[in-house]
Amino acid sequence: MIIHSEQEMLDFGESFTKQFVKTIPKSSNVIELVGDVGAGKTTFVRGLAKGLGLSEPITSPSFTISKQYSLPGSKRLVHYDFYRLSDPGLMSEDLQENLNDQNAIIIIEWGDSISNLLPSDHTKITIKYNNDNTRTVEL
Ligand code: ADP
Ligand code: MG
């Protein structure tokens, strides 16, 4: 799929999320985002947050590694960014707890160092930067 603009990425994140949340009781509660710096991963998360009914702004959790947002109906959005973290340390326990919590909706950027923790059926979205500012998105 080709995404032509930032707005289209926000809209895609928003609509994808609405579908994804419906599947959580049956399948994995985690989305892994793969793509280079500037590909649009965090932009996707901003769309996702809107789809979940969040009004507060999403900023990249690069320095804190994770950020949590309360959602309507006792659910939580947990956004991880493991950029340049070769050893996730205690963060892997934090992630494990959230993976086991049906009320957590988890989205991960740069998940290489914790990929062994992710369930095999997790959703993986790859975003590739194209020269004309469009993005190619693969599920
Ligand atoms: P990442 O989290 O992958 O490093 P960001 O989402 O933080 O990337 O940044 C992507 C940047 O690219 C944003 O500034 C966004 O406005 C811009 N952009 C331009 N075109 C697109 C597009 N088609 N899809 C997503 N982002 C785009
Ligand atoms: Mg990012």
Per the listing, tokens 């009781």 go with 25
Domain positions in the chain? 2-138
Pocket test for ligand 1, best of 4, 5, 6 (most atoms within 8 A of CB): 6
Distance 36 CA to ligand 2 centre (A): 9
Distance 112 CA to ligand 2 centre (A): 14
3-state secondary structure of 86: coil
Contact 57, 138 (CB under 8 A): no
109 DSSP β-pair partners = 33, 81
Pairing state of beta strands 135-138 and 66-70? Answer: unpaired
Q: What is the mean pLDDT of each run of 10 residues along the chain (139 residues)?
A: 97 95 87 97 96 90 88 92 88 95 95 94 96 94
Pocket test for ligand 1, best of 11, 43, 45 (most atoms within 8 A of CB): 43
Residue 10's contacts (CB-CB under 8 Å, 6 or more residues apart) are 43, 46, 47, 50
Distance 74 CA to ligand 2 centre (A): 26
- The response to whether residue 135 sits with its C-beta less than 6 Å from ligand 1 reads yes
pLDDT at 63: 76
Pairing state of beta strands 30-34 and 104-109? Answer: parallel
CATH number, span 2-138 = 3.40.50.300
Burial (Cβ within 10 Å: 0-12, 13-18, ≥19) of residue 18: exposed
